[in-house]
Each structure stands twice: as structure tokens, then as C-alpha cells.
Amino acid sequence: MFDYKLLSALAAVVEQAGFERAAQVLGLSQSAISQRIKLLEARVGQPVLVRATPPAPTEIGRRLLNHVQQVRLLERDLQSLVPALDEEGLPERLRIALNADSLATWWAAALGDFCARQHVLLDLVVEDQTVGLKRMRAGEVAACVCASERPVAGARSVLLGAMRYRALASPAFIARYFPDGVRADQLAHTPALVFGPDDFLQHRYLASLGVEGGFEHHLCPSSEGFIRLAEAGLGWGLVPELQVREQLAQGTLVNLLADKPIDVPLYWHHWRNGGQLLGALTEQLIRSSRQWLVPWAPS
């Protein structure tokens, strides 16, 4: 069998983003961690880590991490029978990538008391819904919420539903840029809000209105900040309906064009051999997420 002392050291260095913190978490010296990584590399016959800040796994390092995560989840199923087997004695952690808008809206409520019941701690990683799968493929997370259906090797995906986005702006923004009424073809000439370089929702929305090409935009990688910027009149943007019920009711944000929402499907991807814990979490999410998400019919 593999030497899991070495693999745990690798996992700790990547998860804790450094040798020092990995040493703290595992209760070892930094040089002990370094030696374990070197020994692992000697056995594997190639580097498992790129020594950058933070250290990043190599291709083979990622495959090893992926394996460690799956083994940990399987171990958990045994631990209730034989708790003494867990040498590290750390509480179980589940690393999950999800889009900021889910985290800002339905995610926590959908979990209910799952974490307390199962005594599990979450390491949440915020990733745009189009790139969360990269983290799955890299073996960095056990599960992710993302907009693509197609699972990576060794994983399953299940449709949870869709988030509904509306194009909104503040009344002051509309008064400044569209004194004579909002016109779709002029939308590209007013500042937009874009979450980050991987967010093409506004591009797709404009394209659906027949507007192609680039447009001026602020970059704001925060769901809540996005709404604050829209309310302050810095730009227009596509915002989850779930997140702005109050703003729409109070009129601090208003629909830009006639009622034209855009829906983004959300799939739950999880390791196939993820053990009972991931299975239970998957059931919990399927059951409860529909309260917040709208139905989605794959085209």
C-alpha cells in the first residue's frame, strides 16, 4: 500500500497553502514535512509540488491528492465503527467549490443542520460556476457546484436547478445614462458590472439582445459588493433574483429592460467513491435546493 504519512504531508501542504501551516496542523516540524515530501518525490520519481507561494501540486501531485481525498471520505465510513483508526484525530473537513452567488444566497440554508449532525467542517472555495470543475479535476475539492453538466472522470453530476438572474440598475444610473428610456443597443456603452475575468454572463446577456463585442465594465469579485456597486449607481449588472428581493421591493434597484431574466443551471458534482458522507450531503442538497432554485430543462 501507499505510505499515507507521506501523502498526508502533501495534502496538508496544499490545503494549508504552505509548509509552515501544514506542520502546525499535523503537529510536526517544518523539516519533517519537507523530508516527507522529498521522500514521496523520491518514490514517485518526479516532483509532486511546485515550490511557489503557495505551493502548487504538479500533475502527478494532483492525482495523488485526488486519491487522498477519496480515501479520507471512505475512511470516514469506517471511523464510526473503529474511531481509534484515525491517527491524525482531526475533525472531518469537506472541501467544496461553489459560485459566490450560491454561497451568498441558498447554499447555507439548503445545508440545514447537516454539518452539526455529521460533525463535519467545510472548507469552501469560491469559484465562478464555469471554472469550479477545474478544482474537481485537480483533485482539490471533493465536490463542486457548477454550470456544466459533464462530470470529470471518477465523479457524478446531478442537476439541482437554476439560478435566475435579472439585469438591474439603480434609478440614478438609469436617469444618468438613459434619460429617454433604456435601449438595448446602448447598453454596451454604459458601464456594466462583471464579477471577474471568467464571468461572461453579461456578455451572453448582451449577445441575446443582439449586442456583440466588448463593453465598459467594472470588475467586482464579490456577490455582495456587486449589489452595493449596482445600488450606488456604478453600473448595471445581472444579479440573482434571490439576492435582491428587498432591493426590488424598495426600488433601490429596478429592472433595466422589460422583464427578461436569464437562468443559469447549477449541477452538483461529487466524487463517485465519496463514501456515505458525500452521499448524504448530495441527498440533502437535492431535497432542499429546489426551494430556492427554479426548474431547468436542459436543451
For a copy of itself, the binding residues (CB under 8 A) are: 16-17, 21, 52, 91, 100, 103-105, 107-109, 111-113, 115-116, 121-126, 172, 176, 191, 197, 216-225, 228-229, 231-234, 243
Minimum CB distance to a copy of itself smaller for 66 or for 190: 190
Nearer to a copy of itself, 78 or 109 (CB): 109
Q: How far is the CB of 77 from a copy of itself (least distance, A)?
A: 21
**Residue 197 Cβ vs a copy of itself, minimum distance, rounded to whole Å:** 5
- Cβ closer to a copy of itself: 77 or 123? 123
Is the Cβ–Cβ distance between 256 and 167 less than 8 Å? yes
Which residues are within 8 A (CB) of 157 and not within 5 positions of it... i.e. 6 or more apart? 148, 149, 150, 151, 267, 268, 269
DSSP element (H, E) containing 71: helix 59-79
Which residues fall within 8 angstroms of residue 6, CB to CB, at 6 or more apart?
A: 36, 37, 39, 40, 43
Which CB atom, from 39 or from 56, has the smaller least distance to a copy of itself? 56
Strand partners, 162: 265, 294
| Smallest gap from residue 149 Cβ to a copy of itself (A) | 24
In the bound state with a copy of itself, the residue whose beta carbon lies nearer, of 104 and 264, is 104
Are 48 and 61 in contact by the 8 Å Cβ rule? The answer is yes
Report in angstroms how near the CB of residue 20 gets to a copy of itself at its nearest.
11
Q: How far is the CB of 26 from a copy of itself (least distance, A)?
A: 12
> Minimum distance between the CB of residue 3 and a copy of itself, rounded to whole angstroms?
26
* One-character DSSP codes across 115-173: HHHHTEEEEEEE--TTTHHHHHHTT--SEEEES--PPPTTEEEEEEEEEEEEEEE-HHH
The distance of closest approach from Cβ of residue 25 to a copy of itself in the complex, given in angstroms and rounded to an integer, is 9
78 vs 232 by CB, closer to a copy of itself: 232
> Which lies closer to a copy of itself via its Cβ, residue 138 or residue 152?
138
Considering the complex, state which of residue 39 and residue 254 has its C-beta at the smaller distance from a copy of itself: 254
Report the alpha-carbon distance of residue 65 to residue 126 in Å, rounded.
19
Q: How far is the CB of 298 from a copy of itself (least distance, A)?
A: 27
Placement of cell 496542523 in the chain: 25
* Element spanning 111, H or E: helix 107-111
CA pair distance 195, 212, nearest whole angstrom = 19
Is residue 166 within 8 Å of 264, Cβ to Cβ?
no
